Amino acid sequence: MSILSYKISMVQFPLLVLLLCGVLGSPVWAKTHHRTFVIKETPYTRLCQTKNILTVNGEFPGPTIHARKGDTVIVKVCNQAEYNITLHWHGVDQPRNPWSDGPEYVTQCPIQPGANFTYRILFTEEEGTIWWHAHSDWDRATVHGAIVVHPRRGTTFPYPKPYKEIPIILGEWWIANVSQILADALRTGADANLSDAYTINGQPGDLYPCSQEGTFRALVHRGKTYLLRVINAAINNELFFGVAGHRLTVVGTDASYTKPFTTDYIMITPGQTMDLLLEANQEPNNYYMAARSYSSAANLPFDTTTTTAVLEYATDSNSNYSIPSSLPLLPAFDDNDAANRFTAGLRSLASKDHPVDVPTTVDERMIITVSVNVISCPNNSCFGPNGNRLAASLNNVSFENPAIDILEAYYHMIGGIYGDNFPNKPPFYFNFTGDNLPPMLSFTRKATEVKVLEYNTSVEVVFQGTNILAGENHPMHLHGQSFYVVGSGEGNFEEKDILGYNLVDPPYQNTVGLPKSGWTAIRFRTTNPGVWFMHCHLDRHLVWGMDTVFIVKNGKTPEAKLLPPPSDMPPC
Ligand code: C2O
Ligand code: CU
């Protein structure tokens, strides 16, 4: 730094303090934006069929929210559809404000048909790509959109400024009505019907019937670099994604910067986002982008289709559009090593401007088994395995939605709604990742149990996958704060694994793919009082009960206490 700039920064210092503290509490650079989201049913034609889908403002995918770090966005939701709905701002911490977080029966009762509710989205530390989605039943299949949090004015990306940004929202499409798919699965106890297509920005792409016309096309100029903001909004599947002839450099995930690393493909779980740089450095032509399943559960059927979009180089000649010649080389659908290798490449940037703050000591340690289970049905009358009903659990507790939301019960001290006995350990130890586990282990029980945490506690959670029924990758997601992913491995977690933790540059994420037949360890500090859902982001597992809730108690100072509820909280 030169002497001159040093002097200037000393002069600016008091001004900066003034700016940071603001006059009335919120920093003066922060802006408040107002949006209106109207939920309505809108006809959409895909795969040669027209059906009504739930949308926001008639758009699918829904509108993008742009904000800068530190801003507030106020979204008024008007429910003009025939379904109950809630919205969630996935990856936004919402400090002290669980009232606007959204998961139904956890932080609010649903917004009923004809009713309104206003969400206040408080952006603090997020910077990069996140997203919003419905958090009621499987409404998020079509009710979702991107959130782009730009750097604060006067600051910029920690990488060369890309020429343009390209949103890539990966979705999943059913020809049938999605609420019917879910209702059928819950009625019979069997697995849900597979989807009929994946989508890129709402379009299946030209490998599907009747889909060529709308295929998403991104126009690029040779020699320029583009920022792909990739979001996996699919309901039930992890995906591999790549662009033919081009390498991708990962620079961020879940609105947190990463050390750049270059790869031919990404593996992205539902809930996750990836910010990727793509250099348009190939012969001007058309190139396929494509996504398809990473399906880790052996022998389970999955949607085997491939969704495509086109990277189209601008040329001087008005040559006719030609279908790209080859698809990107993606790993095989069951290539666990390829999935784990990609995930292991994610590291926090850990720079002066974007430091890591990973807890080095732990006050509360939890080991949580993650399992797909069954619950028995009278006379084996269900359509899941052996006449049982499919279920799922954390530490063998299968979460059941309460009659009113947990936040309300907690805040108003209403008894009998939830228990606070979510266990710190699995109820019994066995070879979690062994083959041919005894069938007895597959049974679980329904309960509404939460884990209560003191304010400012350093928490470690080790997620332990089990092979009950079938081992598979589970995208574990926490509301209310991101966490550092400090370790991960194959098989059963052991004490000695702690020695191998990365406490230097672990990635900072809100959703982590727990590897099939393996474990993942996360750490975070409870500095956000509230009621925070934690669940698998595969929605079939979510509705089967692979969920729990963390209640973070108030701290001592006024800034460490919950905000009061807004006056328009929807009633149950
Ligand atoms: Cu993407 Cu509980 O949410
Ligand atoms: Cu899962």
Which two three-digit tokens encode residue 30? 């922060």
Q: Domain spanning 364-560 has what CATH number? A: 2.60.40.420
Whole-number pLDDT of residue 364:
98
Residue 386 CA to residue 394 CA, distance in Å, equals 22
Whole-number pLDDT of residue 18:
43
Q: Which ligand is nearest to the CA of 535?
A: 1
Q: Which ligand is nearest to the CA of 393?
A: 2
Considering only CA atoms, which residue is closest to atom 3 of ligand 1?
A: 90
Measured from the Cα of 533, ligand 1's closest atom is 2
89 C-alpha to ligand 1 centroid (Å): 8
Residue 141 CA to residue 118 CA, distance in Å, equals 22
Measured from the Cα of 90, ligand 1's closest atom is 1
Q: Is the CB of 103 under 6 A from ligand 1?
A: yes
Q: Is the CB of 135 under 6 A from ligand 1?
A: yes
Q: Is the CB of 475 under 6 A from ligand 1?
A: no
Measured from the Cα of 479, ligand 1's closest atom is 2
541 C-alpha to ligand 2 centroid (Å): 5
Domains 22-150 and 164-344 equal at CATH topology level = yes
Adjacency order of strands within the sheet including 450-453: 450-453, 547-552, 530-536, 474-478, 511-514
The Cβ of residue 191 has, within 10 Å, a number of other Cβ atoms equal to 17
Q: Which ligand is nearest to the CA of 147?
A: 1
Q: Provide the residue ranges of all domains of the chain, joining segments of one domain with +.
A: 22-150, 164-344, 364-560
Whole-number pLDDT of residue 498:
98
Q: Which residues in 205-218 are b (16+ Cβ under 10 Å) and which e? A: bbbbeebeebbbeb
Q: Is the CB of 541 under 6 A from ligand 1?
A: no
Whole-number pLDDT of residue 346:
98
pTM of this structure = 0.94
**Domain 164-344 superfamily per CATH:** Cupredoxins -  blue copper proteins (2.60.40.420)
534 C-alpha to ligand 1 centroid (Å): 8
Residue 133 CA to residue 145 CA, distance in Å, equals 7
Whole-number pLDDT of residue 188:
97
Instruction: State which H helix or E strand residue 184 sits in.
Output: helix 178-188
Residue 116 CA to residue 570 CA, distance in Å, equals 8
Q: Domain spanning 22-150 has what CATH number? A: 2.60.40.420
What DSSP designation does 180 have? H
Asked whether 45 and 168 are in contact (CB, 8 A), the reply is no
In sequence order, the 6+-apart residues with CB closer than 8 A to the CB of 43 are: 50, 51, 52, 53
Whole-number pLDDT of residue 503:
98
Q: Does residue 503 sit in helix, strand or coil?
A: coil
Helix, strand, coil shares, percent, the chain, to 5:
15, 40, 50
Whole-number pLDDT of residue 26:
59
Residue 521 CA to residue 54 CA, distance in Å, equals 37
Residue spans of beta strands (DSSP E) within 301-437: 306-313, 364-375, 389-394, 397-399
Indicate the burial class of 352 (C-beta count within 10 angstroms; 0-12, 13-18, 19 or more). exposed
Q: Is the CB of 533 under 6 A from ligand 1?
A: yes
Whole-number pLDDT of residue 177:
97
133 C-alpha to ligand 1 centroid (Å): 8
473 C-alpha to ligand 2 centroid (Å): 7
Whole-number pLDDT of residue 323:
85
Which of these, 151, 203, 129, 144, lies nearest to 173 by C-alpha position? 203
Using 70 as the pLDDT threshold, list the residues of the chain that sit under it: 1-28, 318-321
Measured from the Cα of 140, ligand 1's closest atom is 1
CA 534 remoteness from chain centre: 11
The Cβ of residue 8 has, within 10 Å, a number of other Cβ atoms equal to 11
Q: Which ligand is nearest to the CA of 475?
A: 2
